[in-house]
Every structure is written in C-alpha cells, then in structure tokens.
Amino acid sequence: MNAEIKEAIRDEALRLGFDAVGFAPPRLAQEARAHLVEFLARGYHGDMGWLAARADERSDPQTLWPEARSVVVLGLNYAPEEDPLPALRRRERGVVSVYAQGRDYHDVIKARLKALAHWIDGRWPGALKLFVDTAPVMEKPLAAAAGLGWQGKHTNLVSRDFGSWLFLGEIYLALELPPDPAETDHCGACRRCLDVCPTAAFPAPYRLDARRCISYLTIEHKGHIDAELRPLIGNRIYGCDDCLAVCPWNKFARATPEPGFRPRTALAAPRLAELARLDDAGFRALFSGSPVKRIGRDRFLRNVLIAIGNSGDAALLPAAEARLDDASALVRAMAAWALQRLAAAPAAAAHRTARLAREENAAVRAEWHAGDKHGNRGLPTGGNHSYLQADEAEGS
C-alpha cells in the first residue's frame, strides 16, 4: 500500500511540473554529517553563522522534526538555453548567476510544494512540513539519498538528466514510505569544476572553502572583499556559475521550460555603467521579485564597482567617479579601488589627495592609501577559462 502511495505522490509531483522526484529516509549518511562538522570546524562557512547555529538540526532531519518518517525530495530544472560563460568576456557588462536572472526560485518552488502538500494531505491526512533552502536542511545529501543525483567534486548536486542545474525542495512526511535507491558518484577522473574556479575555492575534491567562493563573496559576504580576491571576480556581480557550467553532465540537460526561470532582459548581461547609477529605489524596482534584491543596493554596487575596476575600460571611469561621494562607505571604498585601477596615475593621485583631505571612514581611506602604495595594478586575468576539452567524466 505504501509503495502505491509513493508512486501516486511521484505522479502528482510530475503533473505539477517538478522535473525530478525521489524519496529518502529521514537520515543522513555519516559521511555527510562528518563533512558538515569538518566544514564548520575549518571555518569554511565564513560569515554564514546560521550554518553553525543550527548544525544539529541540519545534520539530522529528525532533530529538526522528530515526526519525520520520509522525505520527498523534488527538483526543478533551471538549465539555461546558452552557455553562461562567454558573457565573462564582455567586460563592460555584468554577469548575474543563471539562477538569479529570472523570478526568485523560492517563490516558484514553494508554490508547487504547497500544492503538492495540499494534495497529499487531502488523501492521506497527517503531519507534514515543506522546505525550500531557508530551513536547516542538508538538501544535496538528501537529494543524493533520494536518487536525484550525486554531490559532485564542486559539492553541488549533479544529475544524469539535468547536469548541475536543479533547484531543490523537500516535504517531510510523518508517513513512512519506501525509499528510492541512492545515486552513486559518476564524476570519475574529471576535474573541470575544480580547475576552472577563478579563486581556487576548492581545497580538495568535494570540499569547498566558501570564504574564497565568488558566490559567497558577492552574495553572502556583507563587508569588504579582500583585495587579493577582487581581480579574480572579473565581471561577476551576483554569484558565479563557472564550476556548474563546465560539468560534462550538462550535455544531457535541456533548457528549462519554466517561464519564471527564464532571464529577464534587464538581467542578461546588464551594462555596468547603468547599474552603477542605481539608487535604492532604482535597485528595488529593477530587482523586484528577484533573489538579487535580498543583498541590498550597497552590497550590489560594491560588486558592480569591482567589476568596473576589473574591466580595463577607461570609458567606465565616470561611473566610478560618480560613486566617490556615495552615502555608503562600502560603495565609496570600491569606487576608490575601481578608479585607481582605471585612471592614469596623475589623475588617480589628484583624486587621492582631494579625497583623503575630507574622507573620515577608515576603510575608504585605506583603499586610497592602498592605491598610493601599489599604483595602477594592471588588467586582471579574470580566472582560468581555458576549459578542459577531454571527456574525463565517467559516462561522458
């Protein structure tokens, strides 16, 4: 009987538009739990204190909800129509991660999870809970246990059918259902995701130091980004897709049919000069309904100005100059950094002298002094994009 319930739930989930459905027990493998302990102990989580704050619940679904007897893991394909990496060469434009170019995925997935939960409750009444990336749930190990894919060397989920392009959501059920077979690792000898990382954020395969990850730096990190990492960010202004995009399993993926995940015109390679002009109201209007909105205007402009500084394009100097008097010290600091990378030495020196005479914020002053010490630091490499061509992954 429970096997029939499980298949009925799977059929309904697919009817509602989910692309992948699996069932797992409400337990994590010891290896996954050990990885979390190591990740936190090494400080790889950086500013993300919320990862450590509820680590016990994160590492054990039944600690989070003792009534859980089964986990339904659901995936939505968000694969792009085109390879996102060529946009990195358009240095006058910013690159927003594929997942954030459309509607906020939390809203899309949650609506479908609620519809599925309502359908389940109407037929087999009982307690259940649903989650989308906002609760202490280790989604990727659960997805692997449910057979949706495996955690690749880049630590993200890889699917035979959807490559590295799956959003995940979960429904915890008090109803015990038979689990699906777990997926096994099919990365083989492939290192594409590790070797392409511009900031060397992977200390080893299957290990991520978020403190060096561009997605973490441009989204989660609230303060100033270390000067040594800024040139490596290139023109990535929100997130990074490099390690996902080079995965050879993506050749089996098809572009998402979900209208909400298709890129907005304004977010597909937007001009840096236009983004640098955004005030708070303009930022909120542009990113209404987008996950980008949550980082706020100041952090976003921090990212934009880093991209301007990395552009090597003197035509973007006015965009940096216009932000030197910004109300946000975070923005002013990156405007100073960008200007000193783009301007000729005499012009940079004149700005430096004038600004230091009246700038009171220590971090902004430090950026001006750093420019005086190091001078124009030349064009950045922007990371490694000589992608491997050999089919090294198992099954590729």
Say how far apart CA 47 and CA 267 lie, in whole Å: 27
Cα(253)–Cα(161) distance, integer angstroms: 6
Distance CA 98, CA 383 (A): 19
The catalytic residue positions are 133
The whole-angstrom distance between residue 260's C-alpha and the CA centroid of its chain comes to 18
Cβ neighbors of 62 (< 8 A, separation 6 or more) are 26, 27, 68
Residue 20 bridge partners (DSSP): 75
Q: Tell me how far apart the alpha carbons of residues 200 and 191 are, in angstroms, rounded to a whole number.
A: 12
**Residue located via tokens 């216009």:** 322
Look up residue 23 and give its two tokens.
């069932």
Q: Please tell me whether residue 114 adopts helix, strand or coil conformation.
A: helix
* Rounded to 5°, angle at Cα 306 from 92 and 44: 130
Q: How far apart are CA 336 and CA 323, in angstroms?
A: 9
SS3 content of the chain, % helix, strand, coil (to 5): 45, 10, 45
Q: Measured between alpha carbons, how far is residue 53 from residues 71, 132, 173, 383 in Å?
A: 23, 18, 25, 33
Tell me the sheet residues that pair with 171.
Answer: 72, 130
With CA atoms as reference, report the closest residue to 342 among 324, 325, 326, 329. 324
Q: How many Å from the N-terminal Cα to the C-terminal Cα in the chain?
A: 39
Distance (Å, whole) CA 287 – CA 264: 10
Distance (Å, whole) CA 393 – CA 187: 5
271 φ, ψ to 5°?
-75, 130
